[in-house]
């Protein structure tokens, strides 16, 4: 029984500690670069592992307190830990799905429609305003036509030339 109690208490302290101290900054700074992109929560996150330990330790201790054998308590603890782990993973997955992204990328801008807010002269640069990623943004734009585009013209972004977007009329 002490094994299960210690495991459950350790999991609980691990969970509470990560809630209270998980995102702190005491002025230390380091940097490294890497890229790992995925669309979901991590299976081995502190949150998930803590909930596994809480489930394993709690159920194992309850089973041992009710005079169940050590193998039976261990199996019950493992099964409960896996269920708690799955529940924690599901909660993190649901939170991740609710997350918004307001990053304006070139891929998001392609085919976006907008309005000319500063006339685009022939062979010149003007400004357009588009609604992208939940916000209204202004961008430099160039028009490849033979006439200038007056303010208020409706346009679509069709290309990117180093931060100056090529537009066509709608």
The domain ranges of the chain are: 2-97, 106-169
CATH classification (class only), 106-169: mainly beta
Residues 3-37 have pLDDT tens digits of 899 999 999 998 888 888 776 555 666 666 665 65
Task: Return the pLDDT at 56.
Answer: 95
pTM of structure: 0.55
- The answer for residues whose C-beta is within 8 angstroms of residue 26's C-beta and 6 or more apart is none
Query: Bigger pLDDT: 67 or 32?
Result: 67
Task: Return the pLDDT at 170.
Answer: 87
CA–CA dist 141, 55 (Å, integer): 58
């Amino acid at each position: 029984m002490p094994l299960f109690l210690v495991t459950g208490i350790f999991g609980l302290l691990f969970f509470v500690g990560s809630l209270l101290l998980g995102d702190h900054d005491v002025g230390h700074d380091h940097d490294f670069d890497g890229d790992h992109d995925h669309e979901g929560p991590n299976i081995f996150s502190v949150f998930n592992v803590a909930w596994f330990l809480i489930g394993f330790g709690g159920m194992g201790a309850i089973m041992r307190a009710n005079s169940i054998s050590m193998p039976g308590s261990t199996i019950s603890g493992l099964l409960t830990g896996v269920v708690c782990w799955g529940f924690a993973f599901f909660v993190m997955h649901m939170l991740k799905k609710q997350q918004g992204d307001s990053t304006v990328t070139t891929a998001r801008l392609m085919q976006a429609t907008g309005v000319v807010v500063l006339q685009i002269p022939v062979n010149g640069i003007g400004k357009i305003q588009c609604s992208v990623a939940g916000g209204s943004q202004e961008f430099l734009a160039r028009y490849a036509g033979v006439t200038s585009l007056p303010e208020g013209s409706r346009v679509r972004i069709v290309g990117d030339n180093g931060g100056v977007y090529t537009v066509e009329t709608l």
